[in-house]
Amino acid sequence: MIDIKMPQLGESVTEGTVGRWLKQPGDPVAKYEPLLEVVTDKVDTEVPAPEAGILHEILVPEGETVRVGTVIARLTPAGSTVAAPAPAASPVAATVTASAAATVTAVVSAPPPADGRNTYLSPVVARLLAEHNLDPAQIRGSGQGGRITKQDVLRFLAERERQPSTPVPAAAPAPTPAVAPAATPAPTPAVAPAAAPAPTPAVAPAAAPAPTPAVAPVEIPADAELVPLTPMRRSIAEHMARSVRTAPHVTTVMEVDLSRVLAHRAAQQEAFNRQGVRLTLTPYFIVATVAGLQAVPVFNGSFTDQGIIIHRRINIGIAVALNEGLLVPVIPDADEKNLLGLARAVNDLAERARAKRLRPEETHGGTFTITNHGVTGSLFATPIINQPQAGILGIGAVVKRPVVVTQNGLDAIAIRPLCYLSFTFDHRIADGATADRFLATVKQRLEQWEG
Amino acid sequence: MPEMNLLEAIRQGLDEMMAADSRVFIFGEDVGKRGGVFRVTEGLYDKYGPMRVIDSPLAESVIVGACIGAAMNDTLPVAEIQFADFIAPAFNQIVQEAARIHYRSNGDWEVPLVIRAPYGGGIHGALYHSQSVEAFFAHVPGLKVVTPSTPYDAKGLLKSAIEDPNPVLFLEHKKTYRLIKGFVPEEDYRVPIGPADIKRPGEDLSVFAYGLMLHYCLEAAQTLAAEGVSVEVIDLRTLRPLDTDTILASVRRTGKALIVHEDNLFGGFGGEVAALIAEHAFEYLDGPVMRIGGPDVPAMPFAHSLEAAFMPSPASIAVAMRRLAAY
């Protein structure tokens, strides 16, 4: 029997919702054939069968959200003759692995030296101890020479969490009575039910059975309706609120003349079309942004208490508006691509973002973000930083306006395509003059565009 | 979905690309009438004729050099180097020219060239028919280096390589040619160049490999599973560009890393992966980053016993996995 687990769809993703089962118990499945659709806050994707066989049972119904790694179904592999009913099989398997594990540990972990144990702390153990404010003397090491391993710390934390004899009161029923009818896929309750390993608050002394501050049930007026949050909406809400809380935002605005860029695009469009690439303005803005980041690298960074992390790679995220929200696919190493490569990447990522066909990792690793709010007519905006980045560049609508130009000492009025660039930055990282230097570089690169 | 071996998957990929696009042609030693020494191109000469499946002189510099010129003139050449061991005479053409033309011409020129080369040992091929050459070429910016290990990946990656606008070195482990079988869908598909693939998910340690070693690692991971150790095995698939995100995400989860390749250790590709992990996942490490590779001796020996000693094996890999798990 093979356990089908909720896959980890990206580094920062911790849970997923079963969207739709494509197979039912008893159905035969081929290797790699999609078993179900999974919805996360970042992407929707299909989970393929790891082996050919028969779907034995479904453990998580559609609409339910579970943590990554949770067993969601079981598959009987094609070769196995006995499709033993699940309950009988599992205890046996459990015993076998348990005893096997025991033997291994017994063989491998040498008894701690008489005069004391190996007190070396590996980087991850040191970090976990610091994060949870633990004393290594409390933890029994099972590694070589009694060394404390990462697993030892995690086990210790899990046990400590279980101990406070007053367990979390079996989580107040459904948070919103209004949505009770079973039909609606219960909006993942923000109150972590017992299962979720709550982010251990430094363990309240057992005495007071602290009544978990149950999230106040939302009062829904009679003349209103409640729209459940989609995972994407919830994720955006959490992220935006956190960003504004974390970083003091300042926005600076410059006006840029796009005459040369538009002329270049008009001249190149056909050549790009022949290569199957649609040339929009976005790649130009990426090139200019890269120039800005190279001139002022601090904005390709992240603020931390220990210092500002400056990234060597320039990975530009491009905000793509969807009907139900917003995705930011990332163009890795944008500084290594030419206009053609960038245009191709932008087209491809935007198309697949809209088709919900991005791979999870394609929304990760951005070091700076560009948002093109001008496409919906906005002149300028004050975008919110995509944490943990240092800034975000907003592109306004391109509008022809009369401007005063000076040629040979004479002033004249000309018609020029102009647009506002709004640059929001984290004031912890840099100040206004530095931000303007970045923005001026972007502007200059665009206004003096050459090939 | 038909099951086939890795060699058949590559042949099918070539055939389908040639049928779909008349610009695709094959150039190499004995690839035509004889169908290649490994029979990878068997049948293609009869199907596409001597103008598209061309027997080259015994001169690798000519094979690659001529293909560079052809690639810059609206064709899609697939060069075959009969054994990766023979690639050295073409080093200049690959490294100095093919890899650099796009950069040198400021993006004006592209070299859509694929160079296929069977590599690796374990087939009693001795000094000049067993070498692994990936480290020489993975060092070069401008060159993509692909090392598939399953029929599905091989066919999908080959198609992506042929469609890639710039040079791809496509390394096929010759022992996997007939040894490794798998299902390959009938419909047209691609495996993109770049992403690694988690061939076996696990919790306790991360193992990175490619080519034949990937299969040896999977075998060793199976052994370790019976001992209660859960090993994650990741197929790098592409060495350049390298999927750093997948590597780092896995190590950050497990805290332990082992890199396995058949090429000798010193200056081998594993060093690059190890450095990446040390630099970007240091605070997640719960043990030393370990590597397994062939010994630093000049070449693969001929004698069976010595060849066996040279090659990492599922057993020797399992030993390293156990050590790392117990650390």
Domains: count for chain B: 2
Question: Is the pLDDT score of B174 beyond 60?
Answer: yes
Q: pLDDT averaged over chain A?
A: 80
Mean pLDDT for B141-146 is: 98
Question: Is the pLDDT score of B127 beyond 60?
Answer: yes
Between chain A and chain B, how many beta carbons pairs sit less than 8 Å apart? 64
**Dihedral sign, CA of B32, B33, B39, B42?**
positive
Q: What's the pLDDT at A175?
A: 38
Which one is predicted more confidently, B288 or A89? B288
Q: What's the pLDDT at A196?
A: 39
Question: Is the pLDDT score of A189 beyond 60?
Answer: no
State which of B148, B183, B218 marks the end of a domain.
B183
Q: What's the pLDDT at A322?
A: 87
Mean pLDDT for A242-266 is: 95
Question: Which of A109, A143, A338 lies at the smallest CB-CB distance from B107?
Answer: A338
Q: What's the pLDDT at A15?
A: 80
State which of A119, A138, A160 marks the end of a domain.
A160
Question: Is the pLDDT score of A7 beyond 90?
Answer: no
Q: What's the pLDDT at A181?
A: 39
- Kindly report the number of other CB atoms within 10 A of residue B205's CB atom: 28
Query: Which pLDDT band, with edges at 50, 70 and 90, does A164 fall under?
Result: low
Going by C-beta distance under 8 Å and a sequence separation of 6 or more, which residues neighbour residue B194?
B238, B241, B243
Q: What's the pLDDT at A77?
A: 87
**Dihedral sign, CA of A26, B232, B216, B129?**
positive
Distance separating alpha carbons of residues A77 and A85, to the nearest angstrom: 14
Distance separating alpha carbons of residues A392 and A312, to the nearest angstrom: 18
State which of B158, B183, B208 marks the end of a domain.
B183
Question: Domain span at residue A130?
Answer: 109-160
For the segment B32-70, what is each residue's pLDDT rounded down to a tens digit? 999 999 999 999 999 999 999 999 999 999 999 999 999
A124 in contact with chain B, both atoms CB, cutoff 8 A = yes
Q: What's the pLDDT at A115?
A: 44
Q: Which CATH number is A27's domain given?
A: 2.40.50.100
Are B34 and B171 in a shared domain? yes
Residue in chain B lying closest to A129 (CA) = B283
Residue A255 β-bridge partners: A420
Question: Is the pLDDT score of A131 beyond 90?
Answer: no
Q: What's the pLDDT at A451?
A: 65
Q: What's the pLDDT at B76?
A: 98
Query: Which pLDDT band, with edges at 50, 70 and 90, does A10 fall under?
Result: low
Q: What's the pLDDT at A101?
A: 37
Question: Is the pLDDT score of B134 beyond 60?
Answer: yes
Cβ neighbours of B226 in A, within 8 Å: 100
Q: Which CATH number is B25's domain given?
A: 3.40.50.970
Are A245 and A125 in a shared domain? no
Within-domain flag for B100: yes
Mean pLDDT for A116-142 is: 85
Q: Which CATH number is B212's domain given?
A: 3.40.50.920
- How would you write A265-298 as a 3-class SS string? HHHHHHHHHHCCCCCCCHHHHHHHHHHHHHHCHH
Question: Is the pLDDT score of A376 beyond 80?
Answer: yes
Within-domain flag for A379: yes
Are A11 and A155 in a shared domain? no
- Cβ B245–A361 below 8 Å, yes or no? yes
Question: Domain span at residue B55?
Answer: 3-183
For the segment A430-450, what is each residue's pLDDT rounded down to a tens digit? 999 999 999 999 999 999 998
Q: pLDDT averaged over chain B?
A: 96
pLDDT-above-70 percentage for chain B: 100
Confirm whether A431 is a catalytic residue.
yes
B195 in contact with chain A, both atoms CB, cutoff 8 A = yes
- Cβ A124–B283 below 8 Å, yes or no? yes
Q: Choose the weakest-confidence range: A97-106, B232-241, B293-302.
A: A97-106
Which one is predicted more confidently, B277 or A93? B277
Among B158, B155, B149, residue whose Cα is nearest residue B215: B149
